[in-house]
Amino acid sequence: HGEDHHAKIVLDLEDATIERGGRKLVDHATWRLGPGDRVGLIGVNGSGKTSVLSVLAGQARPDAGRLKRGRTV
Tens of each residue's pLDDT in the chain, 73 residues: 445 555 678 999 999 999 999 999 999 999 999 998 998 999 999 999 999 999 999 999 999 999 999 887 7
What is the rounded distance in angstroms from the CA atom of residue 50 to the CA atom of residue 53? 5
Given a contact cutoff of 8 angstroms between Cβ atoms, the answer to whether 14 and 30 are in contact is yes
C-alpha 20 chain-centroid distance: 15
Which residues, 6 or more positions from 20, have their beta carbon under 8 angstroms from its beta carbon?
48, 51
The three-class DSSP label of residue 3 is helix
What is the rounded distance in angstroms from the CA atom of residue 73 to the CA atom of residue 71? 6
pTM score, whole prediction:
0.79
